[in-house]
């Protein structure tokens, strides 16, 4: 990189910098300063690959779409606000939901544009006016502290919101497949829907079978003993469970009580008949009938 040219005295040397190298160095310095200023002054483009950097420090993040008219109207205001991020001590970012559908699901973005404030992993949704002065005052006066933060179970870095983000990615993939079937293969809309319906039914059946097998593997059914299987048939052809010894003893006692009542009832009837006979024989008004001879 350096060239030493010898002079008249061999012990002395002079360092000569090539002109091309000097020009290249100046160009590199200017380019690097340009890049640094653009990163520092402009908003950071966030995606599903680098979104986790907003979990550290203070951020203001906008979710937008190129086709959204309100997002287009906010774009110059947002870029002007991003120029103040160095003075405000924050970072400003933006997310294109068409390129990062998983982030729209992770943050549950249902309207565009949507602005979030993040402070060390704690998120709050900005719902104040969308002019530059309101945005600057929101950060400088710490008005975000007056807002209730998003609950932990709806936090973008939670496990359940990560699962929801995958569903949003899947919906974007299915939408791309739908458009491809219609544009490339010329299928009508109902034909594409029919294909998706059949695929959904087949996939649901396979998943249901896998879930049942998994449940049987984790919680296997209890084995049935031989005594539980033993049953008695009744007259109608059905089956009755085997009677326990206590039930048999109860039935026997009931039968004994019934026999005693019948016996006592018959004895009482015989005694009543004897008394009636005695009373009729002792009565004077009773006429005795003579026996008649058979003809």
Active site residues: 68, 71
Angle (CA) 233 242 229, round 5°:
80
Question: 192 and 178 in contact (C-beta within 8 Å)?
Answer: yes
Closest CA to 192 of 205, 177, 170: 177
Number of H helices, E strands in the chain: 9, 9
Distance (Å, whole) CA 45 – CA 94: 5
Distance (Å, whole) CA 222 – CA 235: 31
Residues in Cβ contact with 89 at an 8 Å cutoff, skipping those fewer than 6 apart? 58
Question: 160 and 153 in contact (C-beta within 8 Å)?
Answer: yes
């Amino acid at each position: 990189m350096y060239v030493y040219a010898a002079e008249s005295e061999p012990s002395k040397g002079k360092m000569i910098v090539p002109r091309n190298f000097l020009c290249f160095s100046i160009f590199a310095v200017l380019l690097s300063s340009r890049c640094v200023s653009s990163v520092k002054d402009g908003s950071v483009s966030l995606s599903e690959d680098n979104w986790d950097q907003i979990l550290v420090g203070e951020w203001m993040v906008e979710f937008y779409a190129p086709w959204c008219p309100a997002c287009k109207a906010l774009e110059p205001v947002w870029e002007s606000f991003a120029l103040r991020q160095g003075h405000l001590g924050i970072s400003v970012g933006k997310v294109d939901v068409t390129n990062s559908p998983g982030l729209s699901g992770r943050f549950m973005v249902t309207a565009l544009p949507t602005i979030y404030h993040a402070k060390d992993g704690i998120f709050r949704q900005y719902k104040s006016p969308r002019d530059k002065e309101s945005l600057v005052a929101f950060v400088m006066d710490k008005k975000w502290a007056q807002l209730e933060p998003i609950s932990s179970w709806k936090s973008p870095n939670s496990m359940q919101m990560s699962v929801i983000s995958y569903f949003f990615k899947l919906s974007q993939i299915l939408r791309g497949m739908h458009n491809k079937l219609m544009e490339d293969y010329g299928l009508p809309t109902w034909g594409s829907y029919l294909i998706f319906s059949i695929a959904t039914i087949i996939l649901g059946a396979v998943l249901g079978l896998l879930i049942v097998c998994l449940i049987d593997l984790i919680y296997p059914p209890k084995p049935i003993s031989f005594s539980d299987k033993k049953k008695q048939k009744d007259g109608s052809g059905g089956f009755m469970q085997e009677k326990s010894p206590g039930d048999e003893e109860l039935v026997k006692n009931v039968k004994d009580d019934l026999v005693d009542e019948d016996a006592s009832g018959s004895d009482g009837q015989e005694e009543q008949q004897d008394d009636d006979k005695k009373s009729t024989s002792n009565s004077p008004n009773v006429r005795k009938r003579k026996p008649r001879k058979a003809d």
